[in-house]
Structure 1
Amino acid sequence: MVHHISDEAADEPSITTQTPPNDPSQAPLVYKVGYPPPKNLATEFTETLRETFFHDNPLRQYKGQSGPRRFMMGLEFLFPIFGWGRDYSLNKFKGDLIAGLTIASLCIPQDIGYSKLANLDPQYGLSSFIPPLIYAAMGSSRDIAIGPVAVVSLLIGSLLQAEVDHVKNKEEYMRLAFTATFFAGITQAALGFLRLGFLIEFLSHAAIVGFMGGAAITIALQQLKYVLGIANFTRKTDIVSVMESVWRSVHHGWNWQTIVIGVSFLVFLLFAKYIGKKKRKLFWVPAIAPIISVILATFFVYITRADKQGVQIVKHIEQGINPSSVHKIYFTGPFVAKGFKIGVVCGIVGLTEAVAIGRTFAAMKDYQLDGNKEMVALGTMNIVGSMTSCYVTTGSFSRSAVNFMAGCKTPVSNVVMSVVVLLTLLVITPLFKYTPNAILGSIIISAVIGLVDYEAAILIWKVDKLDFIACMGAFFGVVFVSVEIGLLIAVAISFAKILLQVTRPRTALLGNLPGTTIYRNISQYPEAKLTPGVVIVRVDSAIYFSNSNYVRERILRWLTDEEDRAKAVGLPKISFLIVEMSPVIDIDTSGIHALEDLYKNLQKRDMQLILSNPGSVVIEKLQASKLTEHIGSSNIFLAVSDAVRFCTTKSMQEP
């Protein structure tokens, strides 16, 4: 008796074969593999396209809606502010106001410091009050705080410096920075509009952990020139060059007043972070510590005139809003390609960081974050930012964490932060004249220390050694060579891991768990028993051109090993090879040819090839290639237990 059931049922071994308990003489009920109904090319293409780019079915909410309602829903999709803005209340504003003021106190000194990482004047860091306003209207995260971040600032500074010297060609350097920011925004927005956000997933978590940790160490080392008061410092970022530069300046380049300022306030900042970490209610302590440090250090330098004793100070920050930079973006000439290259790299890194941060806090508050929508929002804000004298901005983890703990309710906290930064630019920038560079260096060091996630690295080591290699490769690449090389290593190792997993999929030898009809990996279940005369191999991957030969050869090696073992212990000759195909989600023509070759090889050995539980996609392709006719539909089973019963019965019938 034959029945056709769905693939879902195929995963339940308990229903594949049933023997009525009250009638042992009755033949067991065997379910055969179902063949899906044929699909035309248009249907198949449409389904593939939908699953690849529209797996979340973004248009489902528009079904059955009137024209005006669809328009409003589309507007809310692009500008979520029209959605949550309707329910905005005074109570929510109180939370956003407190959060916005708190992160503003953190971002002002950080923006000044991060602009130095990018080799730009401080006002270009403070000009980043525009992107958060754009994000507040278009972003879907309630918790992300937008602004310049340490890693992207270092990255864009390193890449720009490799093309243009920021001292000798300051104007060209600045224009190239705006050009790179423009193309970073174009890249981010394009990935979102084209729904290609899955591309950033190719940078593995392990590689990101290593890259971020290495970048944090590099950033901290770069701040030694400010904390120690070294005037002549190397422009290289690798640890060897930096330490050589530091030690060469020991006897004549260090300034003790600068060291006192830098080290004392660094201790204060780290202690404030410790307090905030120990007592969550005191989250505001590490948030306001940087601005307090700036105020105290600036006041100290002013009253003692320590700048006359060699303490380096900010000196001058342009007051007021920076003019439009549209005319400064390169749209023609040799710098366009350079700006595009730098922009793509910085855009993807910034995107990876922002989406990861957004998803983290969205999970904490139990709401969904649309990755593609986030990319459009981030891209748009960087495009606008490039035209308003800003360089690349993205989500900041430290500020977002403070924003979250301060009780933000909506993206309005970003608006509050932007207003405070704007007022700072308009009113109080002259007060930063005597701010020592040492305090900015201390603020940056205290901010990036959290990026060295050693706990994650330890966990990666315990879970996956190959991931750990990727993590350490990215880390040491950044620390010992450069940020660009570290990023390249991170991407290369991530791709190498994907290629390794695709080209060398796992296979397993299966045995029967005593007392059941379940067959499992004998390495995982040592008590599983092998079936005499039968070899059961499971392929744990799709079979494509990249791994088809390996899969065939690996199966034959399993078969050869079992033949040798059977001969050594006097077991019956191997007559059947069962290939368990439940994990094989797809197969291409190369994979089908590999199965054909395997079938022919077994025929020469006087063995029978049996297939178990091929999925709908696989069986459809096997049928189209007529391989099912060669193997025989009677040799294709829904469950391994059915296939084994068939093999043992047939063996008993043979003389």
Structure 2
Amino acid sequence: MHQPLLDDAKEDTDNAEYAGFKEDAADMKNVQLKDQCRQCGNKLCSISTLRKKLPCIKWIPKYGLRELQCDAIAGFTVGLTVIPQGLAYSKLAGLPPQYGLYSAFMGSFIYCFLGTSKDITLGPTAIMSLMTATFATSPIPQDPTYAIILSLVCGVVQLVMGTLNLGILVNFISYPVINAFTSAAAVTISFGQVKNILGLKNIPREFGPMVYETFAHIGETRIWDTIMGLCSLVILFLLKKLRTIDWKDEPGAEIKLSQKIARKVLWLIGTGANAVIVIAAAGIVAVLHSQNITGHLSLTGHLKEGLPPFKVPSFSVTNGTETYTAGDIFSGIGMGFFIVPVLGLVETIAIGKAFARRNNYVIDASQELIAIGAANIIGSFVSSYPVTGSFSRTAVNAQSGVRTPANGIFTGAIILLALAVLTPLFYYIPNAALGAVIISAVVQMVDFAIVKSLWKTNKMDLVPHLFTFVTSLAIGIEYGILIGIGVSLLILLYPVARPPLKTLVRPGILLVQPHQGMLFPAAEYISESIVHKATKGGRPRSVVLDFQHIVKIDYSAVQSLKQLFAEMKRKGQCVVLVHVQPQVMFDLHQAEIPFLIIRSTVDEACEDILAQADGHEMILPQDISDEEHPALA
């Protein structure tokens, strides 16, 4: 008679206890949140964080005269290399030559303080120049506005990615994809310079039309440009051999001072081969002009003298009759705001890791993003287009004996000096010589030997490699890299979505063991496969599902298991889980799955299933106390 009242009272007490428990849990969460915020704040304001975000703090206190000497030599050597390359790459980017130099000095200064690699040099590169021409070509000829805005936004994206520690994203781009993209870019860039070697005009930038139009206009070849270009290529090849000469001295043999000086001079000539060729070619043109022999060679032409003004990038541009606003600029660049920052990261990290392994130190991918991002943001204020690490100049830097990132100060100073004093002399530089410089720099990036290596090691890696290379040439390298990444990720995710199922059939029982886990891409596939195999032949079998390799499940997996249990129940059979990991068991218990049966071993599961088949009732989980399931207790 009084039992309902007692039950109501007990229920009220339970509700009060539960409400109190919720309040205590909420208070505990608030305390934990405050502790986490305090710890985060302390970490952000710590000396270790400052040393991580300003890597220069680590090497400045140890900086000495020996480091200064080595960095000065390396910086001056890289400066002599970047000046001709900058002039050449700016033409590749579709900009006046001086913008290659505008893009070369600020990155050197910024990276000195924020970079984690002693070898990397930031500046214009062939790939970034090609990307600038692809995404940031202004409707107004020779106008840099689009390229400068691309640099600014690219820097912001990279800085945010670095601040959020998203440098890990580079790990999702496989080496075959990077290699194929680099090779395709090198082929595109190299063939794009054939027009300068031959003196041809009005050749399109897209690879297919470029090849067709080059051969279609081969009859318009200018012989003076061709001679200059081919001679420059041959001499560049020979000069660069000077820096790799093996003198084969006898062990312990004494080398005379004159020999050391001669070898150092030869090495400097080989290292500065680009500068030697450009200066020599410009000298030849100047001599021809002094003899009134003009018009035979295509020249760089007049450059704007002096240093670029430091100013906020303009978000509009006008050609006198039509104005292009910020909206027009952003829509015109489009996907470039995503592709260019990622490619800048990939190029820098690939170079940095290669030289870090060679010289036994470690780089921080996220901090590299911050350094590149800051360089591009501040660089946009001095009319720079997007920059990143240069492989050829980084190699020169390392070979020059660089000790710290301070070499960038000397490199930037050389470039500023050239802008302030030498720009009138750049008028005489032939386009054919600059084309030879570009071809010589990028041809070494083509790597076809990797195809043989991939064939021997893992033939599946050839698929994203070939997709990337072919599509980069066929429809553009900006799309080729995206397609390659997509194909690579599909190959990576396929085993997760379609994991192999190890099955074994016993009388009236199907044993199933998934090998790759049971998350949402594979959940439905595993359930459907189990039902198909269990009902194959018209005689349904009960299922023993071995969770030995399942360490985590998600909501989709839980729903698939519910459907599996219900489907097998309708067919008069059951599903028993075995070897369930503690965390997975806890998640399954929380999900309250109907007809859930868990046993410790396969033999126990089989005995229960056979007992049920003989007419005995199977013990369900709710009949077992929590004490018998330690994971649920």
Common fold by TM > 0.5: yes
SS at match of 2:294: helix
> How far is 1:329 from its partner?
4.1
Measured in 2, the distance between the counterparts of 1:279 and 1:559 equals: 70
C-alpha separation in 2, matches of 1:310 and 1:45: 79
- Residues 148, 313 of structure 2: 8 Å contact kept: no
Deviation digits for residues 548-593 of structure 1 (CA, Å, limit 9, x no counterpart): 11122234455567x89xx9xxxxx9765342442x3432222112
Answer whether contact 1:115 1:124 (CA < 8 A) is retained.
yes
Q: Deviations over 1:233-283 (max 9, x none)?
A: 3223223x12222222222x1122221221122123334556656859997
Identity of aligned residues (%): 28
Matched, 1:289 2:265: no
For 1:378-527, list aligned pairs within 5 A: 378-497=372-491, 500-502=494-496, 504-509=497-502
Per the normalisation by structure 1, the TM-score is 0.76
Report the Cα distance in structure 2 between the residues aligned to 1:612 and 1:359, rounded to whole angstroms. Answer: 45
- The structure-2 alpha-carbon separation of the partners of 1:46 and 1:616, relative to structure 1 and needing over 3 Å to count, comes to farther
Residue in structure 2 matching 1:84, options 54, 59, 72: 59
Pick closer, same or farther for the CA change 1:453–1:277 going to 2, 3 Å: farther
Question: Residue deviations 1:321-353, cap 9 Å, x none?
Answer: 111241534484532444565333322211221
* Separation (CA, whole Å) in 2 of partners of 1:336 and 1:46: 45
Superposition pairs of residues 195-214 of structure 1, within 5 angstroms:
195-214=165-184
* Partner residue in 1 for 2:596: 631
Give the secondary structure class of the aligned counterpart of 2:286: helix
Shift of 1:409: 1.7
Paired residues of 2:135 and 2:334 also in contact (CA < 8 A): no
Shift of 1:73: 4.0
**1:623-644 deviation line (CA, Å, top 9, x unaligned):** 21134x73334x1x3xxxxx34
Residues 430 and 373 of structure 1: is their aligned pair in 2 closer, same or farther, counting only changes over 3 Å? same
Counterparts of residues 615-630 of structure 1 (less than 5 Å): 615-627=581-593, 630=595
CA contact (8 A) 2:76 2:411 kept: yes
Match of 1:238 in 2: 207
Equivalent runs, 1:56-205 vs 2, <5 Å: 70=45, 72-127=47-102, 128-161=104-137, 164-167=138-141, 170=142, 173-205=143-175
Tell me the distance in 1 between the aligned counterparts of 2:106 and 2:314.
17
Name whichever of 221-230 and 340-349 sits farther off: 340-349
Question: For residue 520 of structure 1, what is the aligned residue in structure 2?
Answer: none
Distance 1:236 1:184 in 2: 23
- State how far apart, in whole Å, the 1-side matches of 2:508 and 2:30 are: 43
- SS across alignment from 1:446: helix
Q: Does 1:263 align with 2:230?
A: yes
* Correspondence 1:316-355 to 2 at 5 A: 316-330=302-316, 332-339=326-333, 341-355=335-349
The 8 Å contact of residues 183 and 339 in structure 1, kept in 2 or not, is answered as no
Q: For residues 39-69 of structure 1, give each alpha carbon's deviation from its aligned partner in whole angstroms, at most 9, with x where no partner exists.
A: 9899999999x9xxx9xxxx89967xxx9xx
Q: Distance in 2 between matches of 1:275 and 1:43?
A: 70
| Cα deviation, residue 596, structure 1 | 2.7
Secondary structure of 2:144's counterpart equals helix
- Output aligned runs, 1:528-567, within 5 Å: 535-557=510-532
Looking at structure 1, the residues matched to 131 and 31 of structure 2 have their Cα atoms a distance apart, in angstroms, of 40
In structure 2, relative to structure 1, the CA distance for the partners of 1:98 and 1:560 (3 Å cut) is farther
Say which SS state the counterpart of residue 122 (structure 2) adopts: strand
In the alignment, structure 1 segments of 5+ residues that lack a partner are 1-38, 512-529, 568-572, 638-642
Alpha-carbon distance in structure 2 between the residues aligned to 1:623 and 1:154: 57
Decide which moves more: 152-161 or 486-495. 486-495
Give secondary structure in 2 for the equivalent of 1:236. coil
Matched position secondary structure for 1:577? strand
1:183, distance to aligned residue in structure 2 (A): 0.4
Q: After superposition, what is the alpha-carbon deviation per residue over 1:83-120, rounded to whole angstroms, capped at 9, x for unaligned?
A: 22111122222322232222222211111111111111
Contact 2:229 2:433 in 1 (8 A): yes
SS of corresponding position for 1:590:
helix
In structure 2, how many angstroms separate the alpha carbons of the residues matched to 1:283 and 1:536? 70
AA of the residue aligned to 2:352: G
How far is 1:371 from its partner? 1.8
1:398-446: CA deviation from partner (whole Å, max 9, x where unpaired): 2222222332221112222111112221222323222111111111111
Q: Aligned partner of 1:140: which letter?
A: T
Mapped contact 1:284–1:406 kept (Cα < 8 A):
no
* Compared CA separation, residues 286 and 335, structure 1 to 2 (3 A): same
CA displacement at 1:395 relative to structure 2: 0.8
Partner in structure 2 of residue 248 of structure 1: 216
Distance, in Å, in 2 between the alignment partners of 1:47 and 1:501 is: 39
Q: Is this contact kept in 2: 1:283–1:402, CA < 8 A?
A: no
Aligned length: 560
Alpha-carbon distance in 2 for matches of 1:433, 1:589: 67
SS in 1 for 2:577: strand
User: Rg bigger for which structure?
Assistant: 2
The answer as to whether partners of 2:112 and 2:409 remain within 8 angstroms in 1 is: yes
Which structure 2 residue ranges, 5 or more long, are not aligned?
1-23, 248-262, 317-324, 615-633
* Counterpart AA for 2:562: E
Pair 1:597–1:221, CA change in 2 (3 A): same
CA distance in 2, matches of 1:207, 1:42: 50
Question: Residues 134, 150 of structure 1: CA spacing in aligned structure 2 closer, same or farther, 3 A cutoff?
Answer: same
Q: Residue type matched to 1:263 in 2? A: L
Deviation at 1:472, TM superposition (A): 2.0
Instruction: Answer yes or no: is the 8 Å Cα contact 1:216–1:448 preserved in 2.
Output: yes
Deviation at 1:461, TM superposition (A): 4.3
TM-score w.r.t. structure 2 length?
0.78
> What is the DSSP-based 3-state SS (H/G/I as helix, E as strand, rest coil) of the residue aligned with 1:543?
coil
Provide Cα deviations, 1:147-190, integer angstroms capped at 9, x if missing partner. Answer: 111011101112223xx3352xx3xx311111111100011011
Counterpart residue type for residue 233 of structure 1: N
Given the superposition, is the C-alpha separation of residues 160 and 47 from structure 1 closer, same or farther in structure 2, using an over 3 Å criterion? farther
Change (3 A) 1:242 1:229: same
Amino acid at match of 2:281: A
- Contact 1:188–1:376 (8 Å) recurs in 2: yes
Shift of 1:79: 1.8
What's the secondary structure of 1:611's corresponding residue? strand
